[in-house]
Structure 1
Amino acid sequence: MIHFPRVRQSPLRALGVRLLAAVGLVMATVGIVYVDRGGYRDVTETPLSLLDCAYYAVVTLSTTGYGDITPISESARVVNVFLITPARVLFLIILVGTTLEVLTEQYRTNLRLTRWRSKVKDHVIICGYGTKGRSAVNVLLENGLDKRKIVVVETNQTALRSAIANGLVGVEGSATRSATLLEAHVKDAKSVIIATHSDDAAVLVTLTVRQLTAGKVRIIAAAREAENAPLLRQSGAHHVIVSASTAGRLLGLSTSAPPLIEVVEDLLTPGQGMALAMRSAERKEVGSAPRDLDPLVIALVRRGKVVSLAEPAGLTVETGDMLVYVRDDRPSAMAEGRQHS
């Protein structure tokens, strides 16, 4: 089941509000008629009881009007003209409005679903919206990816509601099932990020994605244990991030070389100082040494492979290379860069 970010209140809540308004309107009408019950005549020629007033209010507001109870005094007729008749119109508006609200909401949902299915392409699928999944989404958004290009696949209702509340499209179901991934249009996706809670689930999701896409969609998987990383790669993952070993290395750096951990935190924290970025090499940069370029280039990506600057001297930038560099990620520097561009 596909869930879209809510732009209005739910149909059930709208129905409840209208129901309470209708009941309140009926009770108010009953009170008005009961206060002036002496101005009404019953065909039985008996004084109106509270039940009679309630009966008159219901049949009048519903436009049934049997005529067995009628206003005879001037005050009762004035009340009918200026209060009961507008209340009758308002009561009908509440009933018709509730029906239209429910039907409109269903139509709007179906229309959004049809439109989304026809336009979704080159999107990123996040399998799992836990700590790792949320962090991945935050990085994608910080790098300028539109929220409409992110689809979250999650079985946990709380996590799914959180994703929808953050403006993301959510697909309810297990990412290990082909039907769920097909519902997320995995064949048209640009990449799939697997951030499940266990490594065995990550392997199953990777195998399923590879089977459905024939390896045409980039798969990035997170593993808790380093020993499971080769299995994930054999299953079809293009990149594997080992969370346990990465955290352990950072803990080790914080003990043996504290300044290094500050540099790593600076690179990983958006808007603080330094940040890693990648762009295509410009024509004027072709033939130059990477170390001579500005900003600081730390690696090249050539034909899909990373070329370290530790390579022998004489390494130059070639046409089609991607430059991995360190940029100034402070808000003031980013704003200045946009002005110059």
Structure 2
Amino acid sequence: MRSVWYRTSTEARDDAEAGRSISMPTQSATPPLQQVLRRLALALLVLAVTTLVVYVDRAGYHDSADESVDFLDSAYYATVTLSTTGYGDITPVSDSARLTNILVVTPLRVLFLIILVGTTLEVLTERTRQQVRIHRWRARTRDHVVVIGYGTKGRHAVQTLVGQGIAKDRIVVVDAQHKVADLAGEDGLVSVTGDATRSETLLKAEVQNAARVIVAPQRDDTAALVALTARQLNRRATIVAAVREDENAPLLKQSGADTVITSSSSAGRLLGVSMVSPSVARTLEDLMTLGSGLDLIERPVLDDEVGRAPRDSADLVVAVVRGGQLLDYSDARLTDMRAGDHVIVVSRAVPTPAL
């Protein structure tokens, strides 16, 4: 209720501005024809109730035409009254009829008018509901993941995040194209439409409160500007960026990216491995495709693994992260696993939920 009654004028203005570029996840909507038929049924129901009320108390009404009020006259009076036409040829004359008009017919008239203008009211209600949803989302969103660019790289990154157990409501997509942002909404994600190199766009995605930022635009120069802007807005977030060329990777790291993935060289190495050993290439592809067979994941050391050698783990331990340092399986210091360690293991894949 606070989102409706206690928003300040500044918050309301910010929410209205954000509503032009922020798209909340798509919700199921009633088909237009079904909405029209529902409103028509409600209007006919109100008309029938009013007709019945007038007919029951017909002795309290006067008809200037024939001095009597039958069922047709009751329906006629209900129609002209609910539509506020009011010809005056049939009028309530008794105290009970007038009291009924005050307490029953007038509220039914208001209800009938609300149904008639239901489309306009629905538009206003939907707009208000959208602003309330945006306000609540902006107020509650903390330590989320911002994915900049929802192309092939961005979509696969989101799919991997969801497969790793991150809820969709903790992921925000930023893209400059409305169609792409709408696609993210259809996938159940909050999306922001705008230029990610501009601070105002990233602020709408609450990047200043994000825990992780994935930078995956189409161009390397755009990626550098986005990483620089994101780092200026958030000093603590982990920023991972993708570039096409190796020579641009140092520029991304200088711009604030913690990790830089070079797509072209990675693809080239995979092509070379595929030529020499197709089986190795298939295994690598299997490891990189979450949920397909084998997964390469990082997890905390389990209680029953503390003090044991890595090879004694139920999963195949490839490396151990200890105190921020990466120790591979061949490191002489890696004699046992300790509390607080994180292990990088190859494990059997679990099904990945579809977007």
TM bin, normalised by shorter chain, reads 0.7 to 0.9
Which of 141, 149, 158 is equivalent to 1:120? 141
- The answer to whether the 8 A contact 2:163-2:291 is kept is no
For 2:309, the aligned partner's letter is A
Is the CA contact (8 Å cut-off) linking 2:172 and 2:189 kept in structure 1? yes
- Quote how far apart the aligned CAs of 1:99 are: 3.4
| Range with greater deviation from structure 2 (58-67 or 251-260) | 58-67
Instruction: Identify the residue that residue 110 of structure 1 maps to in structure 2.
Output: 131
8 Å CA contact retained: 2:295, 2:346: yes
Q: Pick from 300, 304, 312: which aligns with 1:292?
A: 312
Cα offset for 1:213?
1.2
Give the whole-Å Cα distance in 2 for the aligned partners of 1:141 and 1:60.
Answer: 57
- Equivalent position of 2:347 in the other structure: 327
The 8 Å contact of residues 14 and 101 in structure 1, kept in 2 or not, is answered as no
Q: Deviation at 1:105?
A: 1.1
Alpha-carbon distance in 1 for matches of 2:195, 2:33: 32
State how far apart, in whole Å, the 2-side matches of 1:149 and 1:227 are.
Answer: 33
Q: How many percent identity over aligned positions?
A: 50
- Please tell me whether residue 269 in structure 1 is matched to residue 286 in structure 2: no
Aligned-residue offset at 1:220: 0.3
Q: Secondary structure at the match of 2:271?
A: helix
Distance 1:246 1:209, change over 3 A: same
Q: SS of the counterpart of 1:117?
A: helix
Q: Specify whether residues 209 and 95 from structure 1 end up closer, same or farther in structure 2 by C-alpha distance, changes over 3 A only.
A: same
How many Å separate the matches in 2 of 1:4 and 1:131?
A: 21
Give the match for residue 151 of structure 2.
130
| Aligned CA distance change for structure 1 residues 330 and 3 (closer, same or farther; 3 Å) | closer
Q: Distance in 1 between matches of 2:88 and 2:33?
A: 31
- Answering whether residue 242 of structure 2 is matched by residue 222 of structure 1, we say yes
Structure 1 counterpart SS, 2:242: strand
In the alignment, structure 1 residue 145 sits paired with structure 2 residue 166: yes
User: For residue 63 of structure 1, what is the amino acid of its counterpart?
Assistant: T
Structure 1 residue 91, shift from structure 2 partner: 6.6
* Equivalent AA in structure 2 for residue 136 of structure 1: A
Q: How does 1:242-261 map to 2 (within 5 A)?
A: 242-261=262-281
C-alpha separation in 2, matches of 1:137 and 1:280: 22
For these two proteins, the number of residue pairs brought into alignment is: 285
Separation of aligned partners in 1, 2:303 and 2:188: 39
Give the distance between the partners of 2:259 and 2:201, measured in 1 at CA.
23
Between 254-263 and 93-102, the greater mean CA deviation after superposition: 93-102
Q: 1:89 to 1:183 in 2, by over 3 A?
A: closer
TM-score, length-normalised on structure 2? 0.71
User: Any idea what the Cα deviations from partners look like across 1:74-119, whole Å, max 9, x if unmatched?
Assistant: xxxxxxxxxxxxxx99973532422331232122112211211111
Kindly indicate whether the alpha-carbon contact (under 8 Å) linking 1:3 and 1:170 is maintained by their aligned counterparts in 2.
Answer: yes
8 Å CA contact 1:18–1:94 kept in 2: the answer is no
Consecutive unaligned residues of structure 1, counting only runs of 5 or more, are: 26-57, 69-87, 332-341
Q: Does 1:178 align with 2:199?
A: yes
Secondary structure of the 2:196 match is coil
Match of 1:189 among 210, 213, 229: 210
Give the distance between the partners of 1:120 and 1:135, measured in 2 at CA: 23
- Secondary structure at the residue paired with 1:7? coil
Matched letter for residue 204 of structure 2: E
Residue 304 in 1 paired to residue 352 in 2? no
Report the Cα offset of residue 315 of structure 1: 3.0
Q: Secondary structure at the match of 2:173?
A: strand
Shift of 1:312: 2.6
RMSD, matched Cα:
3.4
Q: What is residue 93 of structure 2 aligned with on the other side? A: none
Q: Give the counterpart letter for 1:137 in structure 2.
A: V
Offset at residue 62 of structure 1 (A): 3.3
For residue 225 of structure 2, give the secondary structure of its aligned residue in structure 1.
helix
Q: TM-score w.r.t. structure 1 length? A: 0.74
Q: Is the 8 A contact 1:14 1:98 kept in 2?
A: no
8 Å contact from structure 2 (residues 150, 173) kept in 1: yes
Runs of 5+ in structure 2 lacking a partner? 1-20, 44-78, 90-108
- Find the residue that maps to 1:132 and give its secondary structure: helix
In structure 2, what is the Cα distance between the partners aligned to 1:207 and 1:183?
A: 17
